[in-house]
A and B are shown apart, each in its own frame.
Chain A
């Protein structure tokens, strides 16, 4: 059974997510270093933290006629959304928030990225930034509906939008086992909402980093942190909705949650190293004509099973 933590649980939520984010960044950097044949893979482990320190040191910059409030607000908004998306995700038996519509809450917080990324692209008064921002909206229009249908499948299976109910409904069998399409689409859309490769076209090198093109210093650090936090929140939600949350033998529930989230996160980062960047001129049709019908059929299958 999942219990609500006292108020200090809310204080632990950001640090826990940040720890996952750092671990994922370390894994990502180790994979890059291995592929590049750089010496001392151990040095790669420290690279994300050293990079963060470097960004604290780096001079901030403001471009000509930039829309500064909207631009600076984008990173903070993204970071806040990344943390709040995990409000209803249980860690083992504890959850910081418990809403009867927890799944919808996660959905709403994750949508905040639409606004944040577009604003980051708009704010700098830079042609490349703008192109990146608009690419993300096109991406959102493509991944969001499959994402929502993937979210409804476990809700139908559990007959509830409360995340705790979804976790306990997987007592016998994890939803990932009998809702594989929804699970895989959910994972893909988590990569898309955190605009990580293969869905990194909004920050791709062909536009000199897209929405990231003009960001430097601590502004860049906050935005990138928000992006990792969003990915961690997505991985955590995947564990709660599809992999039985904290369920598992021998080990305590919280440790199972941690291990499963780490595994999902590692799989997502690894997939990013294996797949090329997906452009929306190709993906939009695939999302609308293959992923939406596939997730709908999955939802139909689940609802036939529950009645």
Chain B
């Protein structure tokens, strides 16, 4: 009973804050409305006893949304919405896409013959996840590790405007980098 109440509260909260994302003018409010929407989503995940996943969603989404707000406020005009303006573009097209997607997903829920599993649920899903990662799903982790490494390198290449040749000289001959502002390690 109480699970149902909490579920519907979370569902309504997620949709409501999701709508709010597009109704507010301020980048900060939009981002934190989106965060609230994710947290309500995490509530539903906790309800189905996927504790690790639920808590992880809370953990990751707060970090991600705070980092997103940094970029939103850095790049978007008028980030606090102090001047009247609308964040909405191509309303008709997006309405059509949204309605279509909603219809498709709803149809999918009712029309697809979802398989059911008779296997018992694992005692601790977190541990099962760990075992899967160290066993059959090991390749996923390896590939992801390389992808993340590539992300780091690509970010650094694209985002920094001074590289090692500016810092250490054309032949990398300096022992200590020549920077306008010092850092904490290696001066």
Chain A residues proximal to chain B, CB less than 8 Å: 65, 67, 69-70, 99-101, 104-105, 107-108, 111-112, 114-115, 118-119, 122, 125, 134, 137, 140, 144, 161, 281-286, 289-290
Q: Which residues of B contact A285 (CB under 8 A)?
A: 183-186
Q: Which residues of B contact A112 (CB under 8 A)?
A: 62
Q: How long is the Cα–Cα vector from A243 to B41 in the complex, in angstroms?
A: 36
CB B177 to nearest CB in A, in angstroms, measures: 11
Determine the residue in chain A with the shortest Cβ distance to B67. Answer: A137
User: Does A108 lie within 8 Å of B28, measured CB to CB?
Assistant: no
Within the complex, which residue of A69, A114, A282, A290 is in contact with B63, where a contact is CB–CB below 8 Å?
A114
Given contacts A100-B126, A115-B35, contact A70 B29 (CB under 8 A): yes
B140 at the interface (CB under 8 A from A): no
B56 at the interface (CB under 8 A from A): yes
Determine the residue in chain A with the shortest Cβ distance to B69. Answer: A118
User: Does B28 lie within 8 Å of A122, measured CB to CB?
Assistant: yes
A sample of 27 cross-chain residue pairs with beta-carbon separation below 8 angstroms, ordered by A number, consists of A65-B80, A67-B28, A70-B28, A99-B51, A100-B126, A101-B51, A104-B55, A104-B56, A104-B59, A105-B55, A108-B58, A108-B62, A111-B58, A111-B59, A111-B63, A112-B62, A114-B62, A115-B32, A115-B66, A118-B66, A134-B70, A144-B63, A281-B181, A281-B182, A283-B184, A285-B183, A289-B185
Within the complex, which residue of A99, A104, A119 is in contact with B28, where a contact is CB–CB below 8 Å?
A119
Q: Which residues of B contact A118 (CB under 8 A)?
A: 66, 69
User: Using a CB-CB cutoff of 8 Å, which residues 27-77 of chain B contact chain A?
Assistant: 28-29, 32, 35, 51-52, 55-56, 58-59, 62-63, 65-67, 69-70, 73
User: Does B80 lie within 8 Å of A67, measured CB to CB?
Assistant: yes
User: Does A137 lie within 8 Å of B70, measured CB to CB?
Assistant: yes
Known: A118-B66, A137-B66. 8 other contacts (CB 8 A): A108-B55, A111-B59, A115-B35, A122-B28, A281-B182, A281-B184, A285-B186, A286-B185
Q: How long is the Cα–Cα vector from A107 to B65 in the complex, in angstroms?
A: 16
Q: How long is the Cα–Cα vector from A105 to B59 in the complex, in angstroms?
A: 8
Grouping DSSP codes into helix (H, G, I), strand (E, B) and loop, the A interface class, with mixed when no group exceeds half, is helix
User: Does B59 lie within 8 Å of A108, measured CB to CB?
Assistant: yes
CB A104 to nearest CB in B, in angstroms, measures: 5
Q: How long is the Cα–Cα vector from A290 to B29 in the complex, in angstroms?
A: 36
User: Does A101 lie within 8 Å of B55, measured CB to CB?
Assistant: yes
User: Does B55 lie within 8 Å of A67, measured CB to CB?
Assistant: no
User: Does A101 lie within 8 Å of B66, measured CB to CB?
Assistant: no
Q: Which residues of A contact B59 (CB under 8 A)?
A: 104, 107-108, 111
B82 at the interface (CB under 8 A from A): yes
Grouping DSSP codes into helix (H, G, I), strand (E, B) and loop, the B interface class, with mixed when no group exceeds half, is helix
Within the complex, which residue of B55, B67, B183 is in contact with A281, where a contact is CB–CB below 8 Å?
B183
User: Does A286 lie within 8 Å of B62, measured CB to CB?
Assistant: no
Q: Which residues of A contact B183 (CB under 8 A)?
A: 281-282, 284-285
Q: Which of B56, B182, B183, B186 has its CB near the most chain A CB atoms (within 10 A)?
A: B183
B17 at the interface (CB under 8 A from A): no
Q: How long is the Cα–Cα vector from A37 to B185 in the complex, in angstroms?
A: 37
Determine the residue in chain A with the shortest Cβ distance to B79. Answer: A122
User: Does A70 lie within 8 Å of B32, measured CB to CB?
Assistant: yes
CB A306 to nearest CB in B, in angstroms, measures: 14
Determine the residue in chain B with the shortest Cβ distance to A280. Answer: B184
Q: How long is the Cα–Cα vector from A115 to B55 in the complex, in angstroms?
A: 16
Q: Which residues of A contact B52 (CB under 8 A)?
A: 100-101, 104, 161
CB A34 to nearest CB in B, in angstroms, measures: 32
Q: Which residues of B contact A281 (CB under 8 A)?
A: 181-184
CB A105 to nearest CB in B, in angstroms, measures: 5
Q: How long is the Cα–Cα vector from A112 to B63 in the complex, in angstroms?
A: 8
CB B29 to nearest CB in A, in angstroms, measures: 7
Q: How long is the Cα–Cα vector from A260 to B73 in the complex, in angstroms?
A: 43
Q: Which residues of A contact B26 (CB under 8 A)?
A: 67
Q: How long is the Cα–Cα vector from A30 to B146 in the complex, in angstroms?
A: 53
Determine the residue in chain A with the shortest Cβ distance to B46. Answer: A99
Interface string of B75-112 (1 = CB under 8 A from A): 00000101000000000000000000000000000000
